[in-house]
Amino acid sequence: MKDLSDYRKSYEKNELIEANLPEDPITLFQKWFYEIDGTTSDEANAMTVSTIGLDGFPKSRVVLLKRFNEEGFVFYTNYNSEKGKAIAANPHICLSFFWQAHERQVIIKGLAEKLAANLSDGYFESRPEGSKLGAIVSNQSEVIESRTFLETRLKELEHEFENKEIPRPSYWGGFIVKPVSVEFWQGRPNRLHDRIRYQMEDNFTWKIDRLSP
C-alpha cells in the first residue's frame, strides 16, 4: 500500500479577510467564480453534488453548474436518476467546488427544488441535438446490458427525429439549490486556512463567522 503521509503542499496564493467581505455570499461566489473562470481551461463550473440516497448512504458526484443568482444554484439532471430520487426524498443537499489552482473551496448547504418547467424547456432547447437525444436515450442510473444498447438506441432516435423538433422529456429538468449556508475556504500557510461561513438567519440576512481551520 502506497504511503501518502508525505504528500504536502504549502498554500500561499491568497487570503480571505473580514475587511474585504461582501454582505452576502453570492457576491463573493461570483467574484471567485469569474477569477477562476478567467484563468483556467478547466470547467470552473464543475461541482460535487452530495445527497442522501434511498439506501441511507451519502453519495457524491460531479455535475456542471449552469446558472447562479441571488436565489440559488441551478443544475440539470434526470429526475428518475438515483440523484433525482434522492433529492425527491430528501431535498437537503450539499454542493462543493474545489479550484485547486487558486487553493480555494466553496461548500454550499441548501434545499433543492425542481426548476419551473418553462425554465427547463428553455435550457433544453439551447442544448446541441446530440445532448437532447442523449437525455432521452439514457435511463440514468439504471442497469443496461451494454454500451451497444445505448449507441443503437441513439441511432434510432436520430432517425426518428431527423428534421424534427426534439421535445424535453418530462423526467428531465433542472434543480435550483437555495443556500442556507455557504462556506468559503482559502488555503493558507501552515494549514491555518481561512474559513468564512455565511449562514442564513430567520430574517433572511446572512450571519458571517470565521471558523477555525
| Element (DSSP H or E) covering residue 126 | helix 117-126
Summarize the confidence of residues 136-150 as an average pLDDT.
90
Structure confidence at residue 4 (pLDDT): 79
Residue 150 placed within a domain: no
Residue 139 placed within a domain: no
pLDDT band, very low/low/confident/very high, at 38 (cuts 50, 70, 90) = confident
Residue 163 placed within a domain: no
What is the residue range of 86's domain? 18-124+173-211
Residues with a catalytic annotation lie at 191
Structure confidence at residue 121 (pLDDT): 97
Summarize the confidence of residues 59-81 as an average pLDDT.
98
Percent of the chain with pLDDT over 70: 100
- 5: pLDDT strictly greater than 80: no
pLDDT band, very low/low/confident/very high, at 39 (cuts 50, 70, 90) = confident
pLDDT, averaged across the chain: 95
Residue 140 placed within a domain: no
Structure confidence at residue 20 (pLDDT): 92
More confident residue, 10 or 72: 72
CATH number, domain with residue 199: 2.30.110.10
Domain count, the chain: 1
Residue 129 placed within a domain: no
Percent of the chain with pLDDT over 90: 88
Residue 60 placed within a domain: yes
Residue 153 placed within a domain: no
pLDDT band, very low/low/confident/very high, at 11 (cuts 50, 70, 90) = confident
Residue 23 placed within a domain: yes
Distances (CA, A) of 65 to 45, 49, 108: 5, 10, 13
Summarize the confidence of residues 133-143 as an average pLDDT.
90
Q: Record the pTM.
A: 0.92
Distances (CA, A) of 45 to 67, 96, 114: 9, 10, 20
* Secondary structure of 35-90 in HEC code, one letter for each residue: HHHCCCCCCCCEEEEEEECCCCCEEEEEEECCEEECCEEEEEEECCCHHHHHHHHC
